Amino acid sequence: MLPTYYACTACGERFDFSRREAVYVTSSNAAPLASQLQGGDLLQAPVRPGWCKDCDKVTIVEDIAPLRDFENAYGAVRAGGTIEYPFDTTGIAAEDAQALVESYLRWRMGRHHAPRALCCGGIRYQFLDVATPLLKHHECDFGFIEGRSHIGGYNGPGPGVYSEADIPVYSSEGVMIGRLTWHDRGSDVWQVVPDEYPKVESP
């Protein structure tokens, strides 16, 4: 679970995630990006909270375990067990969970690039969900950046139904290629617009 936001322990400055989730397009005909995507061609990216040193901000970072972990997860769901990574299968029908884990396994086998910070695609980041991240707030003598969590009670129809979802879409190698906007739940079709990583200014 991502914290709701991060804050400096000394001055209280708050650091929010600009985005909290991300999806990969797994269909082979995804490039160039179509204007619509089937929900079944999308995989929720496993992410962890991090600090991007290029963007100087809190961001989600790809959480890519070794291939062996995906093979073990696949074996576990095939044996009727539940897993928590790459996604939590609790409450998902066994054959759906199996098909989904198989998609993750296929994605992981084809993935080459090191995990990226999903703000800019860079690899200069530090994970924030470790026991003692001790990320110092540059502007403060004694401040550290630490997570704050608030439990929300949202039980709506999911993103993209009453308002635009704004969920970034990535290639299987973690390159930003678009954004999901509207979702038709009946047909599970997403509207998608092209997008790309912002250019990072070098200091």
| Segment interacting with Zn ion, rule: CB under 5 A, options 50-58, 86-94, 149-157, 165-173 | 50-58
Q: How far apart are CA 56 and CA 139, in angstroms?
A: 12
Closest CB 168 distance from Zn ion, rounded Å: 13
x/- mask, Zn ion, residues 130-149, rule CB under 5 A, reads: -------x--x--x------
Q: Is 117 in the site for Zn ion (CB under 5 A)?
A: yes
Alpha carbon of residue 153 to chain centroid = 21
**Smallest separation, CB 11 to Zn ion (Å):** 3
10 is an interface residue for Zn ion by CB under 5 A:
yes
25-33, 67-75, 119-127, 167-175 -> range binding Zn ion (CB under 5 A): 119-127
Q: Residue 30 corresponds to which amino acid?
A: A
d(CA 63, CA 66): 10
C-alpha distances out from residue 97 to 12, 102, 184, 188, Å: 42, 8, 22, 18
Helices (H), 63-193: 67-78, 94-110
Which one of residues 30, 43, 73, 119 is an interface residue with Zn ion (CB under 5 A)? Answer: 119
Decide if residue 76 touches Zn ion (CB under 5 A). no
Residue 52 lies near Zn ion (rule: CB under 5 A): yes
At 66 the three-state DSSP class reads: coil
Structural contact between residues 116 and 122, judged by C-beta atoms closer than 8 angstroms: yes
**By CB under 5 A, residue 118 contacts Zn ion:** no
Give the closest residue to 104 by CA, choosing from 158, 50, 63.
63
Of 126 and 191, nearer to Zn ion (C-beta) is 126
Sign of torsion over alpha carbons 93, 96, 99, 100:
negative
Site membership for Zn ion, residue 60 (CB under 5 A): no
Nearer to Zn ion, 78 or 124 (CB): 124
Nearer to Zn ion, 52 or 128 (CB): 52
Least gap, CB of 2 to Zn ion (angstroms): 16
CA gap 130, 109 in Å, rounded: 26
Q: Can you give the binding site for Zn ion, defined by CB under 5 A?
A: 8, 10-11, 52, 54-55, 117, 119-120, 137, 140, 143
